[in-house]
Amino acid sequence: MSEKIFIAQSELTAMLERLSKEMDVWVPVEMGDEKWGVRFLPYHRDNVVVLGRQSTLSPKNVVFPQVETLLRFRYQKDDHDPSKQSIDLKDLQDVSSALVFGARPCDVRGFLTFDQVFLKGRYKDPYYAQRREKTLFATVLCDTKDSACFCSSVGSGPGDREGSDLWMVPVDDGYVIEALNDKGRKLIPIMGKPATPEQIEKAQRVQEQVTAKPIGEYNLTQSAGDFTGRFEDMDYWRDRVSKCISCGICTFVCPTCYCFNITDESRDLEGERIRSWDSCMFYHYTLEASGHNPRPEKFERYRNRVGHKFSYFPDAYNGMISCCGCGRCIRSCPVSIDIRKIVHHLKEAVDADN
């Protein structure tokens, strides 16, 4: 009856081998020799899987690829009348099922915010929907926080199992793995042997210990009003964000940033319509066809990022914040901008003024 299995560190590779015969398996691997960064790549036996630290790039691209073909097109000229042409269209491609192995609670929480936008509204995004439906998450309980982490500040936590299909708890130089739903349950038999009662008990204790220690010193869940109160305070934003260099790192490494661009990329008579990640930090993001740009300054763009995550999003989706507290935007920022402090100080500054 036990749905909990144990897999030793030394048996991980063999297990991933087995899993990769069933589906595409994505694992966190180092970016290269002598590099610190980690990203998710399709499993390959030569890759060293890194579970001991958070990945630099979140596994967002598994469900929401950086570039996705929406449709392919081909114009065909009429042989008898070259002024006439017809067009062949091919849309939605089938995708295969996938398992993201070794994600963290913050990574998975990112998709919960995606779901609101792409699945729960009036329009359902078929591209996102089919990948989301076919992707499973084997998430590892997080016991390696660093100084940029703040998942508990946004209502999640290092032991947050929401959104995961399989839950892994590090125990005895290995993992106790538990299925959290039917999708996960199907994989359990090929993953490993049942865990012993001692291992299960140890895992329970680790879960309790981790859950008892929140990560992040602030509570940022009720910041929507503070943001609107501070919106027009240009000095506040200019002061804190002058150092921003307006690159796309924070948005591209973010598990919850979902803004995209759609372009037709064609050559001669054929091409494709693609959807690619966009970034609200870019000048061109809001550039209008007239040449007018409603957010020409860097600090206006940064303000939008904060507003979107902590004010507009919770207003539109029942109070849900579109920030998972993973801290990637802080860690990877070339100038170390700290979004926690900016959001927290919105309130302080409002209080100080009153």
Is residue 70 near other proteins by the rule CB under 8 A? no
Pairing of strands 85-90, 4-8: unpaired
Among 37, 42, 121, 225, binds other proteins (CB under 8 A): 37
Which of 48, 40, 16 has its CA nearest to residue 168? Answer: 16
Select from 8-16, 110-118, 155-163, 336-344 the region that touches other proteins (CB under 8 A): 336-344
**Residue 79 burial class via C-beta count within 10 angstroms: exposed 0-12, middle 13-18, buried 19 and up:** exposed
We find the least distance from the C-beta atom of residue 270 to other proteins, in angstroms, to be 14
Among 78, 162, 198, 239, binds other proteins (CB under 8 A): 239
Is residue 42 near other proteins by the rule CB under 8 A? no
Asked if residues 171 and 199 have their Cβ atoms less than 8 Å apart, the reply is yes
Among 9, 335, 348, 351, binds other proteins (CB under 8 A): 335
Question: What tokens appear for 86 in the block?
Answer: 């017809």
Q: Which amino acid is at 311?
A: S
Helix axis angle, 339-353 to 234-241, nearest 10°: 150
User: Residue written as tokens 């994505």?
Assistant: 26
CA–CA distance, 234 with 229 (Å, rounded to integer): 12
Is residue 93 near other proteins by the rule CB under 8 A? no
Comparing CB distances to other proteins, the nearer of 218 and 312 is 218
CA–CA distance, 322 with 301 (Å, rounded to integer): 17
We find the least distance from the C-beta atom of residue 183 to other proteins, in angstroms, to be 29
x/- mask, other proteins, residues 298-317, rule CB under 8 A, reads x-------------------
In sequence order, the β-bridge partners of residue 24 are 98
Is residue 234 near other proteins by the rule CB under 8 A? no
We find the least distance from the C-beta atom of residue 250 to other proteins, in angstroms, to be 9
**C-alpha triplet 272, 273, 279: angle, nearest 5°:** 130
Interaction site with other proteins (CB under 8 A): 31-32, 34-37, 39, 52-53, 56-57, 66-67, 146-148, 239, 242-243, 245-249, 252-253, 261, 263, 265, 274, 276, 279, 282-284, 298, 330, 332, 334-338, 341
